[in-house]
């Protein structure tokens, strides 16, 4: 298992796990304490990691080492903190503008081909497959499901005739998709719980191997 600590570590982990689970039965101070401790530790962990993985190497190794251009993102980043000083707070808007511009350009330039074009292409399937009958059914579900879902969100025509049937079918397809997503969410949550139970019964209580 992932956690292979000393007996003391296992006891601490077990007590904190049980404290967090206890909220399912009743809100209590122990749960609150552990919750706040977790949030604080996670924030500190993130700050330390970012500093030692990026801040420190850039400021004390890269820039003194001759890579002066790293000073540009450092300045842009520091400008964000000018919002705490009213007379120069406007400077933080440049950082926001920079982030928005780069972020939008970065995402848009790569998203269309991979997550739109190739996904649309993947729905161009033969409605009769010579490989197997099951493949034909799969292809029909994908093609009709995509068409129906798109029709459902077509709001500029009255929902009757072909549009009505298509939208109704699209709604059912979405319901099945939501059900699948919910089922997977339940499975994920049970897995999380299972992991903790494996730790409590195994690493801590030694009831299971």
Chain residues that interact with another protein, rule: CB under 8 A? 1-2, 24-25, 45-46, 49-50, 53-54, 57-58, 61-62, 106, 110-111, 113-115, 118-119, 121-122, 142, 177, 180-181, 184-195, 197-198, 201, 207-208
Show the tokens assigned to 104: 């939008």
Which residue in this structure is represented by tokens 């933080």?
A: 92
Closer by beta carbon to another protein, 32 or else 189: 189
Closer by beta carbon to another protein, 97 or else 185: 185
Of the candidates 100, 102, 101, 78, the one whose C-alpha atom is nearest the C-alpha of residue 91 is 78
Residue pair 28/18 in contact by the 8 Å Cβ criterion: no
Hey, what's the torsion of the CAs at 5, 9, 10, 15, to 10 degrees?
-160
Closer by beta carbon to another protein, 168 or else 198: 198
CB 187, min distance to another protein, A: 4
Instruction: Report which DSSP code applies to 63.
Output: T
CB 130, min distance to another protein, A: 19
CB 35, min distance to another protein, A: 14
| Angle (nearest 5°) at CA 202 between 196 and 206 | 145
CB 78, min distance to another protein, A: 16
Closer by beta carbon to another protein, 46 or else 164: 46
Closer by beta carbon to another protein, 114 or else 130: 114
Residue pair 12/208 in contact by the 8 Å Cβ criterion: no
| Cα separation, 51 vs 145, whole angstroms | 48
Residue pair 51/60 in contact by the 8 Å Cβ criterion: no
CB 190, min distance to another protein, A: 5
């Amino acid at each position: 298992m992932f956690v292979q600590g000393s007996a003391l570590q296992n006891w601490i982990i077990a007590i904190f796990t049980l404290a967090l689970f206890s909220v399912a039965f009743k809100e209590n101070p122990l749960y609150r304490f552990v919750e706040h401790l977790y949030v604080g530790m996670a924030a500190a962990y993130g700050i330390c990691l970012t500093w030692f993985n990026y801040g420190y190497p850039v400021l004390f190794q890269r820039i003194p080492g001759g890579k002066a251009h790293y000073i540009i993102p450092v300045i842009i980043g520091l400008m964000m903190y000018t919002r705490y000083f009213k007379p120069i707070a406007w400077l933080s808007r440049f950082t926001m503008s920079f982030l928005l511009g780069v972020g939008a350009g970065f995402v848009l330039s790569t998203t269309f081909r991979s997550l739109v074009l190739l996904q649309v292409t993947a729905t161009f399937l033969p409605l009769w497959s010579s490989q197997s009958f099951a493949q034909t059914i799969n292809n029909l579900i994908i093609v009709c499901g995509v068409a129906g879902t798109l029709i459902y969100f077509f709001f500029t025509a009255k929902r009757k005739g072909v549009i009505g049937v298509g939208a109704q079918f699209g709604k059912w397809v979405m319901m099945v998709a939501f059900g699948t997503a919910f089922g997977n969410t339940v499975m994920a949550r049970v897995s999380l719980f299972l992991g903790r139970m494996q730790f409590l019964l195994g690493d801590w209580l030694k009831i299971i191997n």
